Structure 1
Amino acid sequence: MRGTDKTTGKELDGKAHLRQSITDILNTRIGTRVMRRDYGSELPNLIDNPINDEFAVDLYVALAEALDKWEPRLKLREASMTVQGDGVIEFALTGDYLPDGKTITLDGIVVR
């Protein structure tokens, strides 16, 4: 799948496009996209909740549901998170990149 880099305007494809797409999905609050109100994830609604075991479970569920619904190129196998503070969480995702069937890891997926 090809697209446009959101910062440079240049063509973007492959895993770089996948990374940008995942970041967009996870950072978009459901209900905010005109003509596509169900696009996005619940992560922006959860990001400022108190950090505890329930918080972690809620984040992983929201992450998995959003990627399952909106990113058909990745079959998620594993996710880990690091709370950066001030409403910022960084994820590392591992899964099957379906266009080539190989396992990939995407580090540094930041949700604000």
Structure 2
Amino acid sequence: MKGMNASTGRSIVDLDHLYQSVAKILTTPLASCVKRRTFGSEIPDLVDAPFNGATRTRLYAAVATAIMKWEPRIVLTRVQLNTNDTTDDDDGAQVIDLEGYTTESGDAVRTSVNLNQTSAA
């Protein structure tokens, strides 16, 4: 699939477009798109929640639900939450690592989404 890079306005294709779409879906709060109230995920609401097992479970469910609903080009096989407490630059940054395969070609895909960078829909 071909699309436009949200930062540069240049054309992007295939996996680059897929990764951008996944990041947009996961970082967009539900009900923030006026004409598509159901677009996005619950993840932005969970970023500041207590870092415990219940929140992690809700976050994994939110990732799976949003991707299954809004991105039919990917099937997830692994979702992992990582918190970066080792560097001063991204202290406490929450990153979701995703693995899966594309429905179009079956190619393996792997990407990471920084949850601290919310999207304006």
Same fold judged by TM-score > 0.5?
yes
Deviations 1:44-85, CA, capped at 9 Å, x for gaps: 011100101111101000000000000000011111111236
SS in 2 for 1:39: coil
**Bigger fraction of residues in strand:** 1
Task: Indicate if the aligned counterparts of 1:3 and 1:11 stay in contact, CA closer than 8 A.
Answer: yes
Q: What number of residue pairs does the alignment pair up? A: 111
- 1-structure distance, mates of 2:92, 2:47: 6
**Counterpart residue type for residue 108 of structure 2:** T
Runs of 4+ in structure 1 displaced over 6 angstroms? none
The aligned counterpart of 2:19 is 19
1:51 aligns with 2:51: yes
**Counterpart residue type for residue 71 of structure 2:** E
Cα displacement (A) at 1:87: 6.7
CA RMSD of aligned residues (A): 1.4
Deviations 1:68-110, CA, capped at 9 Å, x for gaps: 000000011111111236674211111111121122222x311
Q: Which runs of 5+ in 1 are unaligned?
A: none
- 2-structure distance, mates of 1:61, 1:5: 28
The aligned counterpart of 1:74 is 74
**Counterpart residue type for residue 52 of structure 1:** N
Identity of aligned residues (%): 34
The aligned counterpart of 2:29 is 29
Change (3 A) 1:22 1:87: farther
Task: Indicate if the aligned counterparts of 1:47 and 1:88 stay in contact, CA closer than 8 A.
Answer: no
The aligned counterpart of 1:94 is 99
**Counterpart residue type for residue 101 of structure 1:** G
